Amino acid sequence: MIVLGFRSDPLTPRYAIVDGVATPLVLLNADSESRLRFPADCSEEAAKVTWLYREFERIFHTHTDIDRVVIKKGEFMQGDNNAKRVASYQEAALLLYCGLHNKPVVTKIYASLGTRSAQVRDHAIARVGQTTRYWDSKMADAVIAAWWGATNP
């Protein structure tokens, strides 16, 4: 089973593609693209969501073997700001894509992924691995989401 894990971010959303059949699990995009950078002329929310949706089309066209999607959703709290709302729009774009293309999709928070913000990097490395470039907590979130999807059919 090939799983795409996704973590929204107002500036640079991240995604991980994990081969859940391999032993040990393999992070298929460890050495390739893992972040989605908005073009400079893409500043309005509607333009960003549209651009991101088209990126999902490209990713799924390139990786036709993706069986499942797991989104590490934002942990909302009282007093959230516009950045978290923008991130939720990104999650909605992926949910829409999956719904229109009959791809199973699940949303998770840290508690249901068996980790915490402070430990997510270490857990991602121990369970699957890490990217060779641009490794950060958001990417670790995407890796853990994909790991969960690969180990919880």
Query: Is 136 one of the catalytic residues?
Result: yes
Single out the catalytic residue among 31, 65, 67, 136.
136
Question: What is the secondary structure of the chain as a DSSP string?
Answer: -EEEEEE--SS--EEEEEESSSSS-EETTSSS--B-PPPTT--SHHHHHHHHHHHHHHHHHH-TTEEEEEEE-----TT--HHHHHHHHHHHHHHHHHHHTT--EEEE-HHHHT--TTTHHHHHHHHT---SSS--HHHHHHHHHHHHHHH--
Report, as residue numbers or ranges, the catalytic residues. Answer: 136
